[in-house]
Amino acid sequence: MVLNAKRSDNTALLVLFIFNSMTFLSHVTFIRLAKEWPSLMESWNFVEKRMQYGRIRVNVRRKCKFIAIVFVLVRTVHLITRQLYYITTISKSASTLTEGLKYYFNKVFLYSYIFRIFGYDPYRAVIVLIVSYVSAFGYLFVDIVIILICLSFSLRLIQLKSKIKLLIKDKIRNKVLWKSLRTEHFYLCKLCASINDKLGNLILLSYATNLYLIIIDWFGAARIERSFLKKAHYSMSIIIDTSKLIAVSWYAASVHEENNNVFKCLLSIPSFLYNLEIERFTNQAIFMKCVISGKKLFTITRGTIFKIAGALVTYELVVLQFNTKLIPNYDDEIHYSGTGFNNSFHQSAG
């Protein structure tokens, strides 16, 4: 049992270290992004002014607010239900509320090592609890920022596509109008390159965090000796983290998808409308593409979603295969939760 507790301790410290590292990197990345944000918004504002005519039938502000609110509410409900589960579990063994809270912050809480070093104090517990919730929402806003920016940018590509279709429908051969659309596409490509440069670190962090959390959740859910309620918590975590990963991939891939739609519209132009500007526009669309990437290490397309699904299946098969070897059957509990970290192995170790 002591050997199991040591293994549990090492695993808990590793999960805690990785979680704190990801939280720290998310804050550092946001600080760097804040410094570069005025430059990005200046480029975006320039494109917006050039494309101010030809409105699209989508309320961008309302859609962005809806996505952000849904993400925050789902994460909030997830954290609250998990904390209520911990409180319910602790209340069964604690005789008083004070004793239960003390046990929670000393044994169950993610940052319990702080109280083991400096001692438990209610005021200190409240401050650390607030910091833990800020950390828990830190990496959530990484996904929200990526989704909102990709959504807004893809709508500009939709706007450009609608203008091309309008010129084709009205059979307009005016070179000045086609040159104007080609120029808009050029500036959109430049803006996309700027987005990739400024958001590359956020994209890498988002994929690394979500993939890691999904694997950890599956790793915990694969344990045989676990109650139904605990499995339900793991299942909820898997669904939320997987949904976030799919949402980020879907909205980021929509940029590449809409860029392809623009190119398809150019290829559909009838021959009698063809002119020099349309030919230049087509060549430009071939060699200058709008696609979101993670620091040029990978590009995000619709196929990326299936590649991620395949990678997750591979990783989880490895986890399921070696689960009984990596974690022997014992009653100790290790669970990452964002603001909760059940590590009752301290009792067994003692």
pLDDT score, position 153: 92
| Encoded amino acid at 296, one letter | K
Q: Residues 83-130: pLDDT tens digits?
A: 776 766 676 666 676 777 777 776 666 667 677 777 777 777 788 778
pLDDT score, position 257: 92
Decide if pLDDT at 226 tops 70.
no
User: In which band, very low, low, confident or very high, does the pLDDT at 346 lie, cut at 50, 70 and 90?
Assistant: very low
Q: Residues 24-47: pLDDT tens digits?
A: 888 888 888 888 899 889 888 888
Decide if pLDDT at 72 tops 50.
yes
The percent of residues in the chain predicted with pLDDT above 70, rounded, is: 75
Beta bridge partners of 336: 341
Average pLDDT of the residues in 304-327: 72
Residues 155 and 64: their CA atoms lie apart, in Å, by 12
**Which residues neighbour 83 within 8 Å (Cβ) at sequence distance 6 or greater?**
339, 340
Residues 144 and 252: their CA atoms lie apart, in Å, by 12
Average pLDDT of the residues in 192-214: 87
For residue 147, what are its two tokens? Answer: 């989704």
User: What is the rounded average pLDDT for all residues in the chain?
Assistant: 77
Nearest to 22 by CA among 293, 208, 248: 208
**Which residues neighbour 6 within 8 Å (Cβ) at sequence distance 6 or greater?**
349
Burial of 11 (0-12, 13-18, 19+ CB in 10 A): middle
pLDDT score, position 11: 58
Q: Is 336 helix (H, G, I), strand (E, B) or coil?
A: strand
For residue 105, the 8-state DSSP code is I
Decide if pLDDT at 255 tops 70.
yes
Residues 231 and 287: their CA atoms lie apart, in Å, by 50
Residues 113 and 9: their CA atoms lie apart, in Å, by 12
Average pLDDT of the residues in 230-243: 77
250 membership: H or E segment, kind and range? helix 228-267
**Which residues neighbour 67 within 8 Å (Cβ) at sequence distance 6 or greater?**
144, 147, 148, 151
